[in-house]
Amino acid sequence: MRQLSFAFSSLFLIGVTLLFPRVASASTLIFNSENDFTGQQGYKGWQYGYYDQDRNFVQAQEEIPQDYFKKPLDIPLLLSGTFGELTSTVNENRIYQEALIPHKVGERFLLTHRMRYEQRWNEGQDFRTRYRYMLFLNVPFNDTALNKKTIYLALYNELFVNGQRNIGNERTVELFDRNRTYMGLGYGLLDGLRMQLGWMLQTTDAWAKGQAQVSLHHSF
């Protein structure tokens, strides 16, 4: 049932992107070597613009160059547990703010820096925050942009740092939360729709695990 519910949620988000312009959404289904299951859905309401000399965000009225900031607000709903019949799960609700800084090196190296600040409500824990920095690199093989029918290499590394160590009931977490390293291949189904298949290694101070990841990326 969880797999079916996740599929319907993903279709709903695709519908949202078709109805509302300047919205990007992503749906991800992840399996790892121990058969854990994680489903994630979310949507972003993008604000296109730039920062002026006083560091104020200025809304763009027309199309802007690629190297300007994008400042979205995202509201993801997360559910994790053991893959298969529903036994026990852990719920997390969060909102976050992020800035993305894309730039191009040469003809084919598409880099993006992402800085994210999260506010998290975890089941059974106190409210806490987290800081994240990710570096993306996409390398198209048969084009210079991620257009329709483009085959590309997708790489990223992301660092997570907890904003608080105390999570309630005299429990603590480490300042370093985790690191993720990803490598995959992508294909442009349409100009605004891409699919990726890859492998992500996630590590903390206590454990490390690899995850096969299938993702669909669609935007306007």
Buried b (16+ CB within 10 A) or exposed e, 94-128: bebebebebeeeeeeebebebebebebebeebeeb
Q: Strand ranges (DSSP E) for 36-146?
A: 36-45, 49-51, 57-59, 73-74, 77-82, 89-105, 109-122, 128-140
Reported as a single tens digit per residue, the pLDDT across 147-198 is 999 999 999 999 999 999 999 999 999 999 999 999 999 999 999 899 999 9
Reported as a single tens digit per residue, the pLDDT across 196-210 is 999 999 999 999 999
CA 220 to chain centre: 17
DSSP tally for the chain: helices H, then strands E: 1, 15
Closest CA to 27 of 38, 19, 35: 38
> What is the mean pLDDT of the segment spanning 1-18?
46
Higher pLDDT, 117 or 12: 117
Q: Does 219 score more than 50 pLDDT?
A: yes
Give the separation between CA 54 and CA 163, rounded to whole angstroms: 27
Strand partners, 39: 29, 79
HSE-CB at 6 with a 13 A cutoff on CA atoms is 20
Q: Does 104 score more than 80 pLDDT?
A: yes
Q: What is the 3-state secondary structure (H, E, C) of 131-165?
A: EEEEEEEEEECCCCCCCCCCEEEEEEEEEEEECCC
Going from N- to C-terminal start, the domains of the chain cover 47-75+87-209
Give the separation between CA 175 and CA 205, rounded to whole angstroms: 10
115 and 31 in contact (C-beta within 8 Å)? no
Pair of tokens at residue 143: 């084009």
Reported as a single tens digit per residue, the pLDDT across 13-49 is 445 444 444 444 444 444 444 444 444 444 444 444 4
What pLDDT score does 86 carry? 52
Give the separation between CA 154 and CA 51, rounded to whole angstroms: 28
Question: Residue 4 in 3-state DSSP?
Answer: helix
37 vs 79, 98, 157, 205, CA distance in Å?
9, 26, 21, 21
Question: Residue 7 in 3-state DSSP?
Answer: helix
56 vs 43, 52, 66, 163, 176, CA distance in Å?
24, 6, 19, 25, 31
Number of residues assigned to the chain: 220
Give the separation between CA 13 and CA 24, rounded to whole angstroms: 9
Reported as a single tens digit per residue, the pLDDT across 57-96 is 444 444 444 444 455 555 555 555 544 555 666 788 999 9
